[in-house]
Amino acid sequence: MLVILSLTGFIYAITIGTIAFGFSKTPTTVDKKTNPVCNFSILIACRNEANNLPKLLKNLESIDYPKHKYEVIFIDDHSEDDTKKIIETHIAKPTSISVLDNQGVGKKSAITLAVKNAKFDWIVTTDADCIVPLTWLSSFNSFLQQYNYQYISAPVSLPKPKRFIEHFQNLEFLSLQGTTIGTFGLKKPIMSNAANSCFYKPLFLSVNGYTGNEDISSGDDVFLLEKIQMEHPDKVGYLKSDKAIVSTQYEKNWHQLTHQRIRWAAKATSYKNLFGIFVGCIVLLANLLTIASLFLGWQTTVTCILTKFTIDAMLLLKTSRFFKQRIDLIPLLASSIIYPYFSAYIFILSQIKGFVWKGRAYKK
């Protein structure tokens, strides 16, 4: 058992260390003052987002980019609240915002519909519970004029945490963002986040969009990246700029957080990216063996937790510096102890249990 623990710890350290190296290798983008050449279609699939939309609509109208060079398309995914009504009320004003009714079910169907209706070739996506920076489109415009990429992933962050559950989510989210940036730096991207991404419409159509993944409830971002990476590896890049960071929201309680994480984990068995599968397996194995170390005595468990804590800190510190976030030691230590158990719990539930998301039940 000790040999397995040591070998797994060694492989885990090499893996996270390599990703941390990739993070440093990903160049920080300097936003050059460029003419607004690109035209953007911003696509936002939404379901039961009445509480978030007023703030987002106001936010979108304040983007510092010529109004005639972008449009916003909302796609209502059969909402059961006033989502569509709120958007339509806003549309009554002079605006470049429109709303479509999803003809199918789910986010992939909604985005596919919007892409077909988009009048511009550069598609930018975000979520209805997000807030975008005023320099958002300017950053994409500058980046696209500097690099020949056609799929761009960009940073997403959570607000400053206050409660422990928020610290816990923020630390996990920072690790995911760090892994995203790091694997892009290694030219082996395994993650992206549709809350902040941009792609070229003809490229989306050429790889047949989400065809083949329609029945998977999540993963619109990851599966599209996976397709493009396989066929056009030189066309994917990361916009590493603090002027492009989109802010999203915390899950309010452990019940909602659990359902969100089950939703995220449910798509894992459909990955085709071998490096992504390897990273996911070694991270899961490291968490499971940390739990199993309990059978070897508390000293071994403490050693495993502290070793993993030290390894994870390499990537977390780099990521937190980029996002200009301060990591508090006590929540970090507490999360390091809890996370292996939470991760194993989510993995087990994702194999046997469905989940509820935006008021819609998904069966296993």
Judged by average pLDDT, the poorest of 1-15, 227-241, 349-363 is 349-363
Is 230 within a domain?
yes
Percent of the chain with pLDDT over 90: 73
Instruction: Answer whether residue 88 is part of any domain.
Output: yes
- pLDDT at residue 364 tops 70: no
Please indicate, yes or no, if residue 139 is contained in any of the structural domains.
yes
State how far the alpha carbon of 120 is from the alpha carbons of 52, 93, 106, 208, 210, in Å.
Answer: 26, 22, 23, 18, 19
Q: Which ranges of the chain would DSSP assign to H, the alpha helix?
A: 2-25, 53-61, 83-91, 107-117, 136-146, 164-185, 201-206, 220-231, 254-266, 274-292, 298-322, 329-352
Number of independent structural domains in the chain: 1
What would the mean pLDDT of 96-113 be, rounded to a whole number?
A: 92
209 occurs within a structural domain? yes
The confidence band for 361, taking pLDDT boundaries of 50, 70 and 90, is: confident
CB 164 within 8 A of CB 179: no
Contact 197, 221 (CB under 8 A): yes
pLDDT of 90 higher than 70: yes
> Is residue 261 in a domain?
no
d(CA 177, CA 200): 23
Judge if pTM exceeds 0.95. no
- Looking up residue 140, the CATH number of its domain turns out to be 3.90.550.10
The predicted-structure confidence for 335-358, as pLDDT tens digits, reads as follows 999 999 999 999 998 888 878 888
363 in any annotated domain: no
- Residue 98 clears pLDDT 70, i.e. is over it: yes
The answer to whether position 210 is within a domain reads yes
Q: Does residue 295 lie within any of the structural domains?
A: no
Domain containing 226: what range? 30-168+192-250
